[in-house]
């Protein structure tokens, strides 16, 4: 049910809250400034105070923001797979990605621990693959859950000398919950203590049966350190992607997901956006959660400026007014007025929810004291 606090209602009418309270009192309701009234009461009060009421429902504001219709086949074009790398801490996820894209992210990480999600695109024999690196540390469950959601394939990295560990299991359950196919990369095969058979056996406990054990989950033995079998891994990813027949319409306004976002001292809010449909362009006006912005610049994983980004492309987007949240859905809208309308509405919703929560907890405290 729609509700509003007296303070919020007064603010929106540019009236004094005390006058609202007086009016309610005349109608026999004794309420305080932070009390919540329902939408019908609010409407009566507003009219009585000489305001015209335009109720804006969620349906009005959010309508048409995301396309839910199935797109015509002839508009769809193949898009690169989005592959999320998951696994227990220190099992070599970032090293594997570094080896695949011949970069060195690991050495720049503090304590060698990944603390945020990274997104990169690599090209293999004319095929692009988008990789999302996730942290393995126990504290980052939310990031892993989100990582599994916006992906097409999960690469489960398991260190051959360490075996299946708690966050390996957690990653498996995220992949299962998201219904995403998995490829197992048994890493650190160069180590003398490597025991891939043990890994395969342990995986059975989570009902992951790899191919060499007669199941249908692809497994590849690799060494990120020595670069062993990486071509095979890429080949398996592309094979799996082919089966999935991934397609999107690039010729429409963009939709996507915020992978991560932060406030940068020099550049302002920076959001890593994974484009999922359409093409995002510099100058586009977009909304993400309760923030909006006009795309001032876009950077790819090599910090090169790009003018546009099509399906499956991860880009850093500059130009947001505020910092959106990881996991927010992104949509491009026709103009600034529309963006403001949506964001105002969502921010109000957020505030009202917080107020209701507040009042809820205060109420129960009062009950406890009685």
Cα gap 284→319, rounded to integer Å: 10
Characterize the bridge pairing of strands 77-78 and 3-5.
Answer: unpaired
Among 79, 88, 93, 346, binds Mg ion (CB under 5 A): 93
Residue 206 counted as an annotated binding residue: no
Least distance from C-beta 14 to Mg ion, angstroms? 52
> What tokens appear for 104 in the block?
């060195």
Work out whether 188 is an interface residue with Mg ion (CB under 5 A). no
Helix residue ranges, H only, 14-63: 17-26, 39-48, 58-62
Buried b (16+ CB within 10 A) or exposed e, 310-324: bbbbbbbbbbbebbb
> What tokens appear for 181 in the block?
């196919």
Residue 136 counted as an annotated binding residue: yes
Cα gap 370→368, rounded to integer Å: 6
Span of 45-53, 69-77, 113-121, 150-158 interacting with Mg ion by CB under 5 A: 113-121
Residue 93 counted as an annotated binding residue: yes
Interface positions with ligand GTP (CB under 6 A): 87, 89-95, 106, 112-114, 135-137, 187-188, 190-191, 223-225
Work out whether 144 is an interface residue with Mg ion (CB under 5 A). no
Residue 11 counted as an annotated binding residue: no
Which residues are CB-neighbours of 26 under 8 A, at least 6 positions away?
Answer: none
Least distance from C-beta 266 to ligand GTP, angstroms? 26
Among 94, 223, 229, 279, binds Mg ion (CB under 5 A): 94
- Smallest Cα–Cα separation from 162: which of 130, 194, 189? 194
Residue 251 counted as an annotated binding residue: no
Q: Binds 89, which of ligand GTP, Mg ion, none (CB < 5 to 8 A, cut-off by type)?
A: ligand GTP
Binding positions for Mg ion, rule: CB under 5 A: 93-94, 114
Give the residue numbers of the binding site. Answer: 87-94, 133-137, 187-190
Give the residue numbers of the binding site for GTP. Answer: 87-94, 133-137, 187-190
């Amino acid at each position: 049910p729609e509700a509003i606090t007296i303070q919020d209602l007064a603010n929106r009418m540019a009236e004094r809250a005390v006058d609202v309270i007086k009016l309610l009192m005349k109608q026999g309701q004794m309420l305080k400034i932070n009390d919540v009234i329902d939408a019908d009461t609010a409407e009566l009060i507003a009219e009585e105070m000489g305001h015209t009421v335009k109720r804006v429902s969620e349906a009005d504001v959010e309508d048409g923001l995301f396309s839910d219709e199935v797109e015509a086949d002839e508009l769809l074009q193949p898009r690169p797979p989005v592959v999320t790398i998951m696994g227990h801490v220190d099992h070599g996820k970032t090293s594997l990605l570094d080896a695949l894209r011949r970069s060195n992210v690991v050495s720049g990480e503090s304590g060698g621990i990944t603390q945020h999600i990274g997104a990169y695109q690599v090209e293999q024999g004319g095929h692009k693959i988008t990789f999302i690196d996730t942290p393995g540390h126990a504290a980052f469950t939310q990031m892993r859950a989100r990582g599994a959601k916006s992906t097409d394939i999960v690469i489960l990295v398991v260190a051959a000398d360490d075996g299946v560990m708690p966050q390996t299991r957690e990653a498996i359950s995220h992949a299962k919950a998201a219904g995403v196919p998995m490829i197992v990369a048994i890493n650190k095969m160069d180590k003398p203590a490597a025991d891939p058979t043990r890994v395969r056996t342990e995986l059975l406990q989570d009902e992951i049966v790899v191919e060499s054990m007669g199941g249908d989950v692809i497994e590849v033995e690799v060494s990120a350190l020595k670069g062993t079998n990486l071509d095979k891994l890429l080949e398996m990813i592309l094979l799996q992607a082919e089966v999935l027949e991934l397609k999107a319409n690039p010729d429409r306004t963009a939709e996507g997901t915020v992978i991560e976002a932060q406030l940068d001292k020099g550049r302002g809010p920076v959001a890593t956006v994974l484009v999922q449909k359409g093409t995002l362009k510099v100058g586009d006006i977009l909304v993400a959660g309760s923030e909006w912005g006009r795309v001032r610049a876009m950077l790819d994983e090599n910090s090169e400026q790009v003018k546009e980004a099509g399906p499956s492309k991860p880009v850093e987007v500059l130009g947001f007014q505020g910092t959106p949240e990881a996991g927010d859905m992104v949509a491009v809208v026709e103009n600034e007025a529309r963006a403001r309308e949506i964001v105002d509405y969502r921010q109000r919703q957020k505030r009202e929810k917080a107020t209701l929560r507040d009042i809820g907890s205060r109420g129960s405290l009062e009950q406890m004291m009685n």
